[in-house]
Amino acid sequence: MLQTSKKACDIYELAKQVGLHPNVVRYHIGHLEKIGMVESSTTKEKKVGKPKKLYSFSGKHIEGEVPQRQFQLLSDLLCKLCLDILPEQDLERRALEIGRKIGKEWMTEEMEKKNKKSFNMKECANSILRIFS
């Protein structure tokens, strides 16, 4: 569970708390920092190396709308590209092959993250939901 204390955390602590990759957290924290909901500071713990960047809630509550992503446009563009590259009768077969391959890669990564050899149905469903969120 995400801690809501005012203690400053680095990206790796935040990523661990929310169960996401540090790069994903860094991306979103960057946006929250730009709009003023999150503040950052640096601290030098060692004599050498890059200072650690710490993030904390600024105390500001910002209201606004997140811009709508253009997934439908991207989907349409990719479908038209596929139609230009492959004959229509091959598209369904290739889409299924690619979907299975990507799904297998995603689940392999999820099992490696959790150090497991297999998932039960509930764990599998939770991993898929996490991948798509």
**What is the structure's pLDDT at 5?**
52
Q: In this predicted model, which residue has the larger pLDDT, 43 or 2?
A: 43
Tell me the per-residue pLDDT of 83-102, one tens digit each, with 9 for 90 and over.
888 877 788 888 889 888 98
130 forms bridges with which residues in the sheet? none
CA distance 81 to 110: 30
- Residue 44 DSSP SS3: coil
Q: What is the pLDDT of residue 101?
A: 92
Average pLDDT on 25-43 reads 87
Average pLDDT of the chain is: 81
The DSSP secondary-structure symbol of 50 reads: P
113: containing domain: 88-132
Q: Does residue 71 form part of some domain?
A: no
39 vs 108: CA distance, rounded Å = 36
Q: What percent of the chain has pLDDT over 90?
A: 2
Is the pLDDT assigned to residue 66 strictly greater than 70?
no
Is residue 70 assigned to a domain?
no
Residue 78 falls inside a structural domain: no
Number of domains present in the structure of the chain: 2
Task: With a cut of 70, say whether residue 116 has pLDDT above it.
Answer: yes
- Domain membership of residue 80 (yes or no) is no
Say if 75 falls within a structural domain. Answer: no
Question: What does the pLDDT average to over 23-49?
Answer: 84
In a domain, 49, yes or no: yes
